[in-house]
Amino acid sequence: MLDHVSTFTRSTVLEAQRNTLLEELWAKGIRNEAVLRAIAQVRREDFLPDALKARGYENVALPIGAGQTISQPYTVAFMTELLMPTNKEPSEEILSRYTILEIGTGSGYQAAILGAMGFRRIYTVERIPELLAEAQKRFTALGIPVMTRLSDGSLGWSEYAPFDAIIVTAGSPDVPETLALQLAVGGKMVVPVGSQTHQRLYRITRLHAGLDADAFSAEEFQTFRFVPLVGEQGWR
């Protein structure tokens, strides 16, 4: 009985905290309807180790093991919003066609947000086996349709290229060229670029099918802190 009460209290508290988080994201400028709905829908505590579940709705990055972190909800919302064609709910046509590649599965939370938005072609790559195994368990348990791969994501996933959107959730010393070349024409990549501790977020758009730098445009956004992208096109 007491167990039941405490479970109830805990979920009520988490729900209140989730509403506070959504207000905070709104105050910080997140306006995309589908992104906000997905953040309201996905239980972030399901992507955290037991000891940290109670902190699921704090707007902070948290450790997930193997020296890695789950991103801050604001960062997830901001990056996802930058990849969306409009601020409205995506059309059925876009949801079924849009192909999205995530580099750095980590906890699986970012991929779950994309899944909750309704996207059906989500690919995610992680280099640490234990993290990928945990994330896969969560995708299966929660019924989230995500294709996973254990490999160096700085090299992308050429079998499923080109991608309409690429989201790199680890910091790179430069824009990984192999990844840029896996963008479809009109496709966009968000990638944090900088030192191993601080990065600026860039959005790269592919303008035409050429292979030179003039096939891409770049926009710069604010500074974030990501764990390093470790790989051939990242930090070695």
Burial readout 22-57 (b: 16 or more C-beta within 10 A, e: otherwise): bebbeeeebebebbbbbbeebbbbebbeeeebeebb
Q: Where are the alpha helices (DSSP H) in 28-128?
A: 33-41, 73-83, 92-97, 109-117
Under DSSP, is residue 188 helix (H, G, I), strand (E, B) or coil?
strand
Binds ligand SAH by CB under 6 A, chosen from 90, 153, 156, 162: 153
Binds ligand SAH by CB under 6 A, chosen from 35, 70, 82, 193: 70
Beta strand pairing call for 147-150 and 163-168: unpaired
106 lines the binding site for ligand SAH (CB under 6 A): yes
- Nearest approach, Cβ of 170 to ligand SAH (angstroms)? 4
104 lines the binding site for ligand SAH (CB under 6 A): yes
Cα–Cα distance measured from residue 235 to residue 95, given in angstroms and rounded to the nearest whole number: 33
Binds ligand SAH by CB under 6 A, chosen from 21, 38, 114, 128: 128
106 or 162: CB nearest ligand SAH: 106
107 lines the binding site for ligand SAH (CB under 6 A): yes
Q: What phi and psi values does residue 208 have, to the nearest 5 degrees?
A: -150, 175
152 lines the binding site for ligand SAH (CB under 6 A): yes
Verify whether residue 96 is a known catalytic residue.
no
Which spans of this chain sit near ligand SAH (rule: CB under 6 A)? 68-71, 103-104, 106-107, 109-110, 125-128, 131, 152-154, 169-170, 227, 229-231, 234
Q: Which residue numbers are catalytic?
A: 71
